[in-house]
Amino acid sequence: MGNDAVNKLLILNGPNLNLLGTREPETYGTITLDEIENDCAAHASEQGFTVDFRQTNTEGTLVDWLQEASGTAIGIILNAAAYTHTSIAIHDAVAAIEVPVIEVHLSNVFAREDFRHHSFVSDVAAGVIIGLGAQGYILAIDALASMLRNQS
């Protein structure tokens, strides 16, 4: 693993999360993805980590980024958004890599439509944080920090 990977957390966001702030505020609140990124970077740096925070609307790009994480990041936080509920390719990518993945959702998907109740990510994730809003990303950073400390 290269030196860059030693302290880097990769935070990946899927489709429509770029619209946070104006998208269905009754479900997702009014925080923007830029604000979540800033909060994550600040919190991660207190724990000695850097953050590479990304968003895409494209399924294959998420697969590429997950694959590239091997050797370039030590932990991943993944909000695959709607692809969570549809993507065998993302399931397979998470299963294929050694880097631990924490699945995060802002909303409580179990309190929503039935089609959101199944995740193709959860069974291959190291852990899942659901329904706690943007705080879920912060809790995921803490969970990865603690997991990674215990490993070393």
Residues serving a catalytic function are 28, 105
Contact stretch for ligand DQA (CB under 6 A) within 52-60, 64-72, 74-82, 92-100: 74-82
Spatial contact of 131 and 104, defined as CB atoms under 8 Å apart? no
As measured in angstroms, the least distance from the Cβ of 97 to ligand DQA is 20
The rounded distance, in Å, linking the Cα atoms of 134 and 9 is: 17
As measured in angstroms, the least distance from the Cβ of 62 to ligand DQA is 12
The rounded distance, in Å, linking the Cα atoms of 122 and 117 is: 11
CB atoms within 10 A of CB 60: 12
* Nearer residue to ligand DQA within complex by CB, 63 or 106: 106
Q: Which residues bind ligand DQA (CB under 6 A)?
A: 16, 79, 81-82, 84, 105-107, 109, 116
